[in-house]
Amino acid sequence: MGNQRAHLGIARATCALGLVATLLTGCGSDGDSGDDVTKLSFAASTFGDPGRGPLLTKWLDEFNQSQDKVQVSAAAVPYPTFGQTVLTQMGSGKGPDLVRFDMPEFEAAADAGLIAPLDKMIDVGRYDLLKQPDQFMVHDGVRHGIIFEASNYAMFYNADLIPTPPSTYEQFSSTAKALTKGDVYGLAFRQTEAEEAGVWQDIFNYVYGFGGAWSDGKNLTINSPENLKGLQAYKDLYDANVIPRGADAATFRRMFAEGKVGMELNNGGYVTATRGQNAQLNFSVAPIPFPVRKQGAILAPIVINEASEGKEEAATFIRWALEPQNQAKLQEILGASSVATTTQRSAESLKATPFLTVFDGLTETSLPQIVLGFEAKTPDIRKVVVQNVVAALQGKADLKSALDRAQQQATEMVR
């Protein structure tokens, strides 16, 4: 049943993904290599990051240099189309051998039987795994993933424009309005259907930061008063014209690096990317100044494709990645993110980036961007919610009616 549901959902992929998808069709060993080396592909949107991508590729090269029988190559797929592209491939029995998923797609793939169970391939008892994020890697007692990156959301701000960061939503709003003049905007966030997954990540912070939730674990609560309050705050900022409307994430993040955006809510992985765009930018980080200290987190598991012919070799790579020295190097590359295991930040890192402790202090109040109790249905629920919220932003419906409609549509979908 799970596989059938996955194939129905996955079949919606558009032909525009075809070119990228074709690059990911080879699973398992390369029988034509003639050198008895199993060649695997590892797909991750982060390989395309201007700051982290080259460093991750170098880290991957270190694995390849340490091995005689396994080689792993990077496959970068753009973030907006990543989940659908890879799920489409996996659903047809192809795709990359190793995948770095975001949680919604991870849940859908696990539910559909597209991910190989890891319990017999990786002895997790050997590693000091972070308990809070790691709990989401196990489904019905079966482990399907290992955390590749755990990245909490916080408020990035330009310290030249904002000497003292806002500590309340009211201050956040007034600061955004005061900074918006000429070609400078006080704030930026995603607000178009084209960036559905990113809009979901952005509004997650407003929903949970105002005491809301997408469900109570058993029933959807999309149109709850708390959700309405949080999303009204998001819409109020949109209506106040304090953001570069229509700009996608790549554009407004470049603007932030150029000093033309004052604040953005983003995850710890953005630190390295920002410095990669402008090493001289004077920016800092503070907790999101919303009424409730609860925010989203990017939990990105690494998984093995069930269709891969090189599962054990893929597990060799994951075991290598989990070794303490390799975890430490990965954390340095990822910046303010955490990795699968408990690691100690170096004195050099803390001196260069004192606000790393801000991100680390948010781990216990951060949640993966999934709908609890409806994890595997999150991509479908996300689509309905984002469509309706964007319709409200564009004046096609009032926000309460939009959330009521989203509640009805999503409830009918998950029955």
Q: Chain centroid to CA 82: how far?
A: 11
The tens digit of pLDDT for each residue in 131-176 reads 888 999 998 889 999 999 999 999 999 999 999 999 999 999 999 9
Tokens found for residue 383 = 């689509």
Average pLDDT of span 303-313: 97
Residues listed for the chain = 415
Asked if pLDDT for residue 30 goes beyond 70, the answer is no
Strand 261-267 with 146-158, pairing: antiparallel
More confidently predicted of 376 and 302: 302
Counting residues of the chain whose pLDDT is more than 90, the rounded percentage is: 77
Report the CATH superfamily, name and number, of domain 153-296+369-414: Periplasmic binding protein-like II (3.40.190.10)
* Mean pLDDT value of segment 364-390: 94
Judge whether 2-150+298-365 and 153-296+369-414 match in fold.
yes
pLDDT at 23: 46
Helices of type H across 210-341: 225-239, 249-257, 270-277, 311-321, 324-334
Answer whether residue 302 shows pLDDT above 70.
yes
Per-residue confidence (pLDDT) for residue 364, from 0 to 100: 83
pLDDT band of 215, cuts 50, 70, 90:
very high
Residue 269 has pLDDT above 90, yes or no: no
Q: How confident is the model at residue 27 (pLDDT cuts 50, 70, 90)?
A: low
How far, in Å, are 45, 185, 324, 349, 415 from residue 52 at the CA level? 11, 26, 20, 16, 41
Q: What is the pLDDT of residue 17?
A: 36
Bigger pLDDT: 16 vs 128: 128
157, 188 contact by CB (below 8 A): no
Task: Give the C-alpha separation, 194 to 190, whole Å.
Answer: 9
Residues of the chain with pLDDT > 70: what percent? 92
Q: According to CATH, what is the number of the domain 2-150+298-365? A: 3.40.190.10
Residue 28 has what pLDDT?
57
The domain locations on the chain are 2-150+298-365, 153-296+369-414
